[in-house]
Structure 1
């Protein structure tokens, strides 16, 4: 009989600190190491992620293993990528101690999620279908974007990030939070805010609150090279206070050509980047491509 999340012995505050002490481990700000020590928060994340026994979950930055244990109780398998070798070496033993019947579901990779290839994440036989992770604040957006690009098998996910970053990732056009991360995420998936998380459920306590961001992959909005589209996005937001006619002058080669391309795409040259949907950025990139 499959073990359920509620039957897994999750880690509490004393256990998280005890594991760290045995490892003589001190969390570092450089790696964004803030570990969840509240079992109810772990249960909430697992439930909100909507994973089931058909999912192979990719967890980036498992740390002590708090979330890992919750994920193992719900998913068919978990691939945990941990950059800190001491934590990576200990994770399997922690799972064996707290959920021995689920230990075989876990694969641990000691590496950097920003550098691993698709094959290293598991290959076709263990391709990740869901991303669920408490991501280091300083690399959250690059990690999500790279994994969506590198792993087409990822169908959905839920990540915990700094609240402000969560707002930016899920922002809609016209919002003051909308920017390059919002537009790039929208290329890959439907993205939404899925709740807030208090700083008090972490050890050590960060100086900001966190937010949950859920995504569901969709087909790209246009049949055009993604990098061409992202180049337009980056140019538009590099000087976000400027009109698109001015902001895109370097990308287009001149303000005059930028205006011509914008008008051809049905976009007001006096508009600003935060007003454009990803489909409009794609249309603009497509028109520019036909001129080259």
Structure 2
């Protein structure tokens, strides 16, 4: 097979002009136009014979990263909310990577609501690799991880500060709800920094790569119990867990009882707990909700 020709700045502007597309902040559109960055993202994904079987890409835009993915993976499903971009993408792949065009499927849907019924599940998704729309990056990430438990590998580009939050560790100022919820699915780490000038238009801030090795250490059945505890613990960061969880358990005294049962100090704040602590709290006894 021949290699794909990746999109450069001139290609991006030509395609955008053809479609009469002006990137919109509402849809979080910043089109990647640097082939080296595409190669770096694909390399960071470290695809294996397992994780390369079916890759989800969110917000493919004009197809820069898609071209890198179709050459590295057996199957790519690109989820694109903009109907013009969704309609043009298969033709772009056919033009720039003709030998790999049959590996691509496009789903013209909102990634925040997409479900297994919306894509071909003959091979369940094994990886998520995407330049996520920055205004809804964390909700999309958590939604897809919940909907597609077959995902074993994640590499996503988000705002640098969001990348820091996702990979933050307990006890740090930026550790919070996204950090704990992402850790529910596996090991999260910061995988790189990406500058502004590889995009059109250039965003005002740097971007960051986050990778997650989705080992799924906890049963998905626990999510509906654990996630509300996480939300409550960080709703008012200055509150002790005894006070912060009083609404979940019915009273501060009942919250303290549950925390002590889980061998957690009720005077701690949520930022001191890791995901295993929240799991232990959720499974050590029933709340009164």
Partner residue in 2 for 1:34: 30
> Could you list the per-position Cα deviations for residues 48-70 of structure 1 after superposition, in whole angstroms to 9, with x for gaps in the alignment?
11125642111000000000001
Q: What TM-score do you get using the length of structure 2 for normalisation?
A: 0.95
Post-superposition offset of 1:173: 1.2
For residues 1-292 of structure 1, what are the structure 2 equivalents within 5 Å?
2-3=1-2, 7-52=3-48, 54-123=52-121, 125-221=122-218, 225-289=222-286
Q: What TM-score do you get using the length of structure 1 for normalisation?
A: 0.94
Contact kept in structure 2, 1:52 and 1:75, CA below 8 Å: no
Whole-Å separation in 1 of the counterparts to 2:175 and 2:10 = 40
Contact kept in structure 1, 2:249 and 2:288, CA below 8 Å: no
Q: Counterpart of 1:73 in 2: which secondary structure? A: helix
Whole-Å separation in 2 of the counterparts to 1:228 and 1:220 = 16
Whole-Å separation in 2 of the counterparts to 1:290 and 1:271 = 19
Stretches of structure 1 that go unaligned for 5 or more consecutive residues are none
Contact kept in structure 2, 1:57 and 1:75, CA below 8 Å: yes
Q: Superposition RMSD on alpha carbons, in Å?
A: 1.5
Whole-Å separation in 2 of the counterparts to 1:177 and 1:259 = 26
Contact kept in structure 1, 2:53 and 2:123, CA below 8 Å: no
Whole-Å separation in 2 of the counterparts to 1:280 and 1:221 = 12
> Could you list the per-position Cα deviations for residues 14-51 of structure 1 after superposition, in whole angstroms to 9, with x for gaps in the alignment?
11011000111111000000011010000100111112
Contact kept in structure 2, 1:34 and 1:202, CA below 8 Å: yes
Whole-Å separation in 2 of the counterparts to 1:274 and 1:221 = 20
> Could you list the per-position Cα deviations for residues 257-292 of structure 1 after superposition, in whole angstroms to 9, with x for gaps in the alignment?
111111111111110101101111111122341778
Runs of at least 4 residues off by over 3 Å: 220-224
Q: Counterpart of 2:284 in 1: which secondary structure? A: helix
Say if 1:271 and 1:111 are closer, same or farther in 2 by CA, change over 3 A: same
Whole-Å separation in 1 of the counterparts to 2:258 and 2:119 = 40
> Could you list the per-position Cα deviations for residues 190-241 of structure 1 after superposition, in whole angstroms to 9, with x for gaps in the alignment?
1110000001110011111100000111233368521111111000000111
User: Is 111-120 or 50-59 further displaced after alignment?
Assistant: 50-59
Contact kept in structure 2, 1:228 and 1:285, CA below 8 Å: yes
Contact kept in structure 2, 1:191 and 1:213, CA below 8 Å: yes
Whole-Å separation in 1 of the counterparts to 2:83 and 2:221 = 40
Contact kept in structure 1, 2:57 and 2:130, CA below 8 Å: yes
Q: Counterpart of 1:212 in 2: which secondary structure? A: strand
Q: How many residues align?
A: 287
